[in-house]
Every structure is written in C-alpha cells, then in structure tokens.
Amino acid sequence: MANIGMPGLIVILILALIIFGPNKLPELGKAVGKTLREFKLSTKGVMDDDEGENTSGDGKSNK
C-alpha cells in the first residue's frame, strides 16, 4: 500500500480545495466519511458471517 506522508496529504488537500472549492469541501468530506463507515460495517458483517460458518456444532473451528 502507498505510504502517504504529511507533505502528500497537504498537496491532496490543496488540490481538493482548488477543484471543489471551500463551500463544497465539507459536504464532500461528509459523504466520503459516510461511505467509508458503511463499507466498514458491511465488511465487518461479512467477516462475522465467515467466522460463523467456520465453526462446527461443538464450538471448535474447522480451520
């Protein structure tokens, strides 16, 4: 995975500010945060479902 440092984040923030403007940026951040939250919840649900399928009736893992 790419390792973005502080200078990279500042450049990305400045570009986003130029492209979307100061009025639209908070709305964009809120939408991105909401999307990430929904994604995390759905992947957590899938992982929980997988864990439930890997256990047998005696509580031992089938791994």
pTM: 0.53
Per domain, the residue ranges of the chain are: 7-45
- pLDDT of the residue at 15: 93
CATH class given for the domain over 7-45: mainly alpha
Residues 27, 20 contacting (CB under 8 angstroms): no
Q: Distance from CA of residue 28 to its chain's centroid?
A: 15
Q: How far apart are CA 55 and CA 5, in angstroms?
A: 41
- pLDDT of the residue at 18: 92
**pLDDT per residue as tens digits for the range 19-52:** 989 899 899 889 999 999 999 998 887 777 777 6
* 3 state DSSP class of 15: helix
- pLDDT of the residue at 55: 57
The CA radius of gyration of the chain, in Å to the nearest whole number, is 20
